[in-house]
Amino acid sequence: MLPSPIRVLRPPLLAVLGLALVTPAFSQDDGTLSLQLNALAQAEAGCRTTFVSTNGLGEALDGFAIEIALFDTDGLVSGLSALDFGAMSPERTRVVQFTLPDTDCTGIGRILINDVSVCSGPADPGACLAALAPETRTDSAFGL
């Protein structure tokens, strides 16, 4: 079975604004793009993911998006999605949420960052991919 087409997801504005004041202890201006999968929560429309990100590159990104591959608990690819984080100010922590439509959170065994599809500003997508520092606080694996 072929994976479904890539879906581009953008965070709801209210989630970005309402959670922007959360500031966990991430290193600032350390040359990394910290990307933490903070939570997975089942919602009516699918699995709601919460990410905490910090741009430690020292310069603003006009846009940042990644392509992820979802693996089920048996290790099979169950879908691809693009997550558009939008602009990322330097040395600032942001919280964003995305809903993965028609996805059961308990069925996600691993989320792989397949690629950086957008990294506009001082760096190119390859440099942003090299600077990524993924981590998870969930039971699902998350990384490169």
Is pLDDT above 80 for 14?
Answer: no
Contacts of 17 (CB under 8 A, 6+ apart): none
Domain annotation covers residue 58: yes
| Distance, CA of 91 to CA of 3 (rounded, Å) | 36
For residue 72, report the phi and psi dihedrals to the nearest 5 degrees: -80, 180
Domain annotation covers residue 41: yes
pLDDT for position 29:
63
Q: Would you list the DSSP string of 31-65?
A: S-EEEEEEEEEEETTEEEEEEEEEE-SSS-EEEEE
Give the range of the structural domain holding residue 72, as residue numbers without chain letter: 7-135
Mean pLDDT of 52-70: 93
CA atoms within 13 A on the CB side of 65: 17
Mean pLDDT of 15-33: 54
Helix (H) or strand (E) holding 128: helix 125-131
Let me know: does 50 contact 41? Beta carbons within 8 Å. Answer: yes
Sheet strand arrangement including 132-136 = 93-101, 46-55, 33-43, 132-136
Let me know: does 82 contact 65? Beta carbons within 8 Å. Answer: yes
Is pLDDT above 60 for 109?
Answer: yes
Domain annotation covers residue 143: no
Domain annotation covers residue 67: yes
- What CATH number did the domain enclosing 112 receive? 2.60.40
pLDDT for position 120:
86
Residue 42, by phi and psi: left (phi above 0), alpha (psi -120 to 50) or beta? beta
Domain annotation covers residue 32: yes
Say how far residue 59 (Cα) sits from the centre of its chain: 19
Let me know: does 71 contact 78? Beta carbons within 8 Å. Answer: yes
Domain annotation covers residue 142: no
Is pLDDT above 50 for 119?
Answer: yes
Number of domains comprising the chain: 1
Mean pLDDT of 78-87: 94
Q: Which of 90-94, 99-103, 105-109, 124-128 has the lowest mean pLDDT?
A: 124-128
pTM over 0.85: no
Domain annotation covers residue 25: yes
